[in-house]
Amino acid sequence: MEDDGHVVFVISPKDKKGGKHRRYVGFSNGIIKRFNFGNLNPADRTWKAPMMNGEKFTCGFFSENETNMVCGTNYGTVFFISMRPTPGR
């Protein structure tokens, strides 16, 4: 099992609907996990960015449109990520 590395960022999108307390947690090795802190369950979604050897996340920011995220690495790579829900989920 691969180690997630250390936590680099925790992003809290605004919650217009109320009641949901989702947080996106980015780990140094390119893993992003979505947690619902309202019920304290384990991560309900996990993503892995394609990283080169030695590359690590250094920062992350969630857009005000509550759909897009951007993450940067120590190699200067910038990942633009859309967290748009998948139909049927």
Band (77; pLDDT cuts 50, 70, 90): very high
User: Would the pLDDT of 58 be above 90?
Assistant: yes
To 10 degrees, the CA torsion angle through 88, 46, 35, 74?
A: -130
pLDDT of res. 71? 93
19-57 residue pLDDT tens: 556 788 999 999 999 887 777 778 888 889 999 999 999
Asked whether residue 1 carries a pLDDT value surpassing 60, the answer given is no
